[in-house]
Amino acid sequence: MSSTQNRPVAVITGASRGLGRGIAIALGEAGFTVYCTGRSDRKAIGPWGGTVRDTAEAIDKVGGQGIVAICDHLDDSQTEALFKRVDAEQGRLDLLVNNAFAMPDWAVPDGNFWERPLSLWRDMIDVGLRSSYAASHFAAPIMVRQRSGLIANTSGPGGKIYRHALPYGVGKAGQDKLAHDMAHELRPFDVAAISLWPGLIGTERTLAGIAAGGVVGDSAGNLPHIETPFFIGRVLAAIHASGDAMTLSGGTFYSTELASRYGITDADGRLPESRRPLFGAPLYQPISGEAGETRS
């Protein structure tokens, strides 16, 4: 069936709370139909609350169409079923945001890898990087068929500097490289892939830590770098509306610098400061070449 009122269609993985929830709601505000994935339907998992149903209902309230999509991204069969459902119900997919990630509270402070359980690799690599690859694997055929679409990975400068834990940095570096290499293979089909580096995200956990007197520190940025969870969603909506995603494809970007490009402010009216002075330029720039070029 066709999507309601020809809305653009997005899938946001890990949309029950935090950044994923914010991205989903911001896209709903921009008129998207948004499939919100996660494991929590009516009961929150973990101490920070939030379910995909909560997110879907919030999308409806701001004028979008929110769709509950219960999915454990550690299970490839569930991920495959999700994209078959999207294709069957909508017939298209305009945007995939790979955001699913697991970071236990105890893993936020820096710590030695040999003193931490091996499960941290599963949380940050399997739930994070591997699920991004799997979701992209199942989303790409829809986008290739329609010869349009954007895959966006939420990442961060942890791929360039040490932060939190060894698997954290490996996962972030992988998200950037994943977008860069997907872009090479998707370019002949006019499908784009990018990686985004947000500032400090004002999630429930971050704000609670600051309120409790936690020190952010220069290894992460400071209060001027804080973004609401809605900011990246606003940026992605602007990219979609502009129709120029292929000029970005393969690159890794600071979200606030893309916001400047498209004239976007955060939900609170601010333009957060870029963390480029702290971390320098991202490793991957857009891939040169014309959209629609054929393979040699």
The reply to whether 262 belongs to the active site is no
- End-to-end Cα separation, the chain, in angstroms: 37
Rounded CA gap, 226 and 4, in Å? 34
The single-letter code of the amino acid at 17 is R
**Distance between alpha carbon 155 and the CA centroid of its chain, in Å?**
7
Q: Which of 35, 162, 168, 254 is catalytic?
A: 168
Residue with tokens 């959209």: 291
Contact 1/91 with Cβ under 8 angstroms?
yes
Strand partners, 154: 196
Please, how many CA atoms are within 13 Å of residue 245, restricted to the half-sphere of its CB? 28
Beta bridge partners of 96: 11, 151
Q: Which residues are catalytic?
A: 168
